[in-house]
């Protein structure tokens, strides 16, 4: 029997994808260097191979190889091993969180020998891989047509459509996954800041905060991250019986993709401060000892306790505004990547794909699908009717929330940066005229004037 595709790497993603595929009538042959993993998977049904060569030899043509390995040198190593075993027309899919520049390089190298290469952004973790993930593909469109049926079959579905799409050539899929993670970092931080507000300023218990998040999750703010936050807050520590958050250390880690998103935004000249803050807050959370030692003597903020009845709706609206800001910044970053690398990514398609299976799935994305289709009209996404209307109403509550948090000494970096960004995006004349004047004053860089064309120095001479 010839197999449909080979899955290489049987960690949580590879193993679960194999089971998901098997359940849908797809025949994968699976390989991992670790015999223990091979045996465990074989017990659940999927066929395994004792070597990479054996796995490839068992494939029908064109041969498809799905790599579910850690990003980095492991992928290059595997590609070197695979090259002599494959031929023109075969397809390799890299499902790791690879850097999009690596994917661009690999696509070019393999394309030169006729092997299709797809960089596949995959979101949804172990349970997504098992029951329906979100797939963001980049690479040759012919290669995507070859593998498409398999990924559509194991993708999550949202509004009746599978959450898997091709987004452009070479690195487009991995770039989209990087942007996804930039947004992921921001939304996680925003929700954590809202929780801190409830806990520290309102004195909410974990149970009360969970109930609130559960309620918000029913409305416009509904999202996977909000849902899991409620679940986490309701959890008790099995060791001590205390609410689980009380025993979790506060230094937040990362594996790099949020950092890449920040770097890409800076390099492409996209203002994405909320995404960058999402990463920055994790960095600032490091060094708990230092923070604890500096806390003594730090001026205490004395504020009135907010009215517990009025805060939840205000905070909900503040979160809504900040979520809209985060998603918009992410889509702008994707648009800039697409422009720079010639991907012609359909942003509405990306929003559609993010509606299911992935970590940032959220009801708001239903609103972004039509908004992104009108992105090139004056004012862009933020000026489209639904988003503009919601922002006008919710920004008022975002101002209140950030103001209150500032007076209370509560750090809310993502909420604050979303607010500053939104204010700037809606200000006809900004303070940055002074920055321009300063640049010319000490650096003779010249300024463009409001009253005539051309570039001038502050002394009125032309540059």
Catalytic residues: 177, 184
**Residue from the set 255, 339, 393, 449 that interacts with ligand 6PG by CB under 6 A:** 255
**Residue from the set 16, 22, 123, 146 that interacts with ligand 6PG by CB under 6 A:** 123
Does residue 125 belong to the site contacting ligand 6PG (CB under 6 A)? yes
Does residue 358 belong to the site contacting ligand 6PG (CB under 6 A)? yes
- C-beta of 13 vs 321, nearer to ligand 6PG: 13
Does residue 283 belong to the site contacting ligand 6PG (CB under 6 A)? no
CB of 386 to ligand 6PG, least distance (A): 26
> Helix (H) and strand (E) counts for the chain?
19, 12
List, in order, residues 6 or more apart from 47 with CB less than 8 Å away.
3, 27, 28, 29, 30, 58
Do 151 and 137 contact (CB within 8 A), yes or no?
yes
Number of neighbours of residue 441 by Cβ within 10 angstroms: 13
How far apart are alpha carbons 318 and 311 in whole angstroms?
10
CB of 91 to ligand 6PG, least distance (A): 22
Closest residue to ligand 6PG, Cβ-based? 123
Residues 156-195: x where in contact with ligand 6PG by CB under 6 A, - otherwise, as a string? -------------------------x--x-----------
- C-beta of 3 vs 185, nearer to ligand 6PG: 185
**Residue from the set 258, 356, 357, 413 that interacts with ligand 6PG by CB under 6 A:** 258
Q: Quickly list DSSP for 331-353.
A: HHHHHHHHHHHT----HHHHHHH
Stretch that binds ligand 6PG, among 75-83, 253-261, 272-280, 336-344 (CB under 6 A): 253-261
Return the axis-axis angle of helices 100-111 and 172-196, rounded to nearest 10°: 160
Return the axis-axis angle of helices 385-408 and 311-341, rounded to nearest 10°: 120
How far apart are alpha carbons 72 and 445 in whole angstroms?
42
Residues forming beta bridges with residue 6, ordered by sequence position: 29, 65
Q: How many residues bind ligand 6PG (CB under 6 A)?
A: 13
Does residue 364 belong to the site contacting ligand 6PG (CB under 6 A)? no
Does residue 254 belong to the site contacting ligand 6PG (CB under 6 A)? yes
How far apart are alpha carbons 284 and 297 in whole angstroms?
20
Stretch that binds ligand 6PG, among 138-146, 255-263, 294-302, 378-386 (CB under 6 A): 255-263
**Residue from the set 167, 190, 281, 359 that interacts with ligand 6PG by CB under 6 A:** 359
Q: Is 91 helix (H, G, I), strand (E, B) or coil?
A: strand
- C-beta of 322 vs 358, nearer to ligand 6PG: 358
Does residue 97 belong to the site contacting ligand 6PG (CB under 6 A)? yes
How far apart are alpha carbons 344 and 141 in whole angstroms?
13
How far apart are alpha carbons 377 and 397 in whole angstroms?
27
Chain residues binding ligand 6PG by CB under 6 A are 97, 123-125, 181, 184, 253-255, 257-258, 358-359
């Amino acid at each position: 029997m010839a197999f449909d595709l080979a899955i290489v790497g049987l960690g949580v993603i590879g193993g679960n994808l194999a089971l998901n595929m098997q359940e849908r009538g797809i025949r994968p042959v699976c390989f991992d260097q670790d015999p223990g993993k091979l045996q465990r998977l074989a017990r659940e049904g999927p066929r395994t191979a004792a070597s990479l060569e054996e796995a490839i030899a068992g494939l029908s043509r064109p041969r498809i190889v799905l790599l579910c390995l850690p990003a980095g040198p492991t992928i290059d190593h595997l590609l070197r091993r695979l090259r002599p075993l494959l031929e023109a027309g075969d397809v390799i899919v890299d499902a790791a969180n690879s850097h999009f520049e690596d994917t661009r390089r690999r696509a070019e190298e393999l394309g030169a020998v006729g092997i299709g290469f797809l960089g596949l952004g995959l979101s949804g973790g172990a349970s997504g891989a098992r029951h329906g993930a979100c797939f963001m593909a980049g690479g040759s469109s012919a290669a995507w047509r070859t593998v498409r049926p398999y990924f559509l079959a194991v993708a999550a579905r949202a509004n009746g459509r599978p959450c898997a799409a091709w987004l452009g050539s070479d690195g487009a899929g991995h770039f989209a996954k990087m942007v996804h993670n930039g947004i992921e970092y921001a939304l996680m931080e925003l929700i954590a800041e809202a929780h801190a507000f409830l806990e520290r300023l309102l004195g909410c218990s974990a149970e009360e905060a969970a109930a609130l998040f559960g309620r918000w999750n029913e409305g416009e703010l509904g999202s996977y991250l909000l849902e899991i936050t409620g679940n986490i807050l309701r959890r008790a520590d099995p060791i001590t019986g205390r609410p689980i958050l009380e025993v979790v250390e506060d230094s937040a880690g990362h594996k790099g993709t949020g950092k890449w998103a920040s770097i890409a935004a800076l390099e492409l000249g996209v203002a994405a401060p909320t995404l960058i803050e999402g990463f920055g807050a994790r960095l600032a959370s490091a060094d708990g000892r230092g923070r604890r030692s500096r806390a003594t003597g730090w001026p205490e903020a004395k504020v009135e306790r907010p009215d517990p009845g009025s805060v939840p709706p205000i905070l909900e609206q503040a979160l809504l505004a900040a979520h809209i800001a985060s998603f918009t910044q992410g889509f702008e970053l994707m648009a800039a990547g697409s422009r720079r690398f010639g991907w012609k990514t359909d942003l509405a398609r990306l929003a559609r794909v993010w509606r299911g299976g992935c970590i940032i799935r959220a009801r708001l994305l239903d609103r972004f699908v039509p908004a992104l289709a009108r992105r090139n009209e004056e004012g862009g996404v933020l000026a489209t009717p639904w988003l503009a209307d919601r922002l006008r109403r919710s920004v008022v509550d975002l101002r209140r929330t950030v103001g209150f948090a500032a007076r209370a000494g509560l750090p809310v970096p993502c909420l604050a940066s979303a607010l500053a960004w939104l204010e700037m995006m809606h200000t006809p004349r900004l303070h940055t005229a002074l920055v321009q004047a300063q640049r010319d004053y000490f650096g003779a860089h010249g300024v463009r004037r409001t009253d005539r064309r051309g570039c001038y120095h502050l002394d009125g001479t032309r540059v």
